[in-house]
Amino acid sequence: MDTAVFRAWIVSAAGVIEANRDHLTQLDAAIGDADHGVNLARGFAAVTAALEGPAETDAPATPGAQGPPGASDAPANPGAVLTLTGSTLISTVGGASGPLYGVAFRRAGKALGAAVTVDLPSLADALEAALAGVQQLGGAREGDKTMVDALAPATRAFGKAIADGAQAADALSALAEAAAAGAAATISMQARKGRASYLGPRSVGHEDPGAASTALILAALRDVATR
């Protein structure tokens, strides 16, 4: 998987998040601040703009001239794509989602380094790094009714599929299916982290919005990488 695949993944994820913006917000309305879908859609819209690099102009180039402050080339490798995604989400998404998704993508990007292509084991390492970052920042474990309940089983299933010699399509399907199952499993859980934890037993019966968005993002990875 090269830079184009990773860029396509993030662009696809942005589209999926936008398409499910109202659904994610409704999930959050039940147990949170009712802004998860709106905030995440805004953040991913900013990410897609950032991935395009500095805007081109029709003005002739001036020798020695520099672009506007902050302008930079589009990311040159998969790790840079994920790092830029994380940094942009941190700066544009409010609430807990920005920092948590931000650290996930940035840790994954750091794990990939400057490699221009990524194989399945390297992707698995990057997802493990993302999970570790989320758990370190948020302090959540499986069963706490958070995005970890989608991300942890997904990374575990992905690693097992790779170890068992699965082809890329099958391994990525295992990743996405485990994330979806993990998100669905949060419905019966009582929240122990975040704003939802204030509801106590009343948080039972509602799907965690962070787990739901995590499943959507990983499904986008499967769909793009297996085209």
Q: Rounded to two decimals, what is the model's pTM?
A: 0.89
Which tens digit of pLDDT belongs to each residue from 87-105?
999 999 977 889 999 999 9
Enter the DSSP assignment of 118.
-
pLDDT at 69 over 80: no
Which tens digit of pLDDT belongs to each residue from 50-59?
998 764 433 3
d(CA 23, CA 91): 23
d(CA 41, CA 46): 9
pLDDT at 54: 61
Q: What are the boundaries of each domain within the chain?
A: 3-52+75-225
Q: How far apart are the first and last CA of the chain?
A: 12
pLDDT at 154 over 70: yes
Mean pLDDT of 162-186: 98
The DSSP-derived string for 137-156 is HH---TTSSSTHHHHHHHHH
pLDDT at 65 over 80: no
Give the CATH architecture of domain 3-52+75-225: Alpha Horseshoe (1.25)
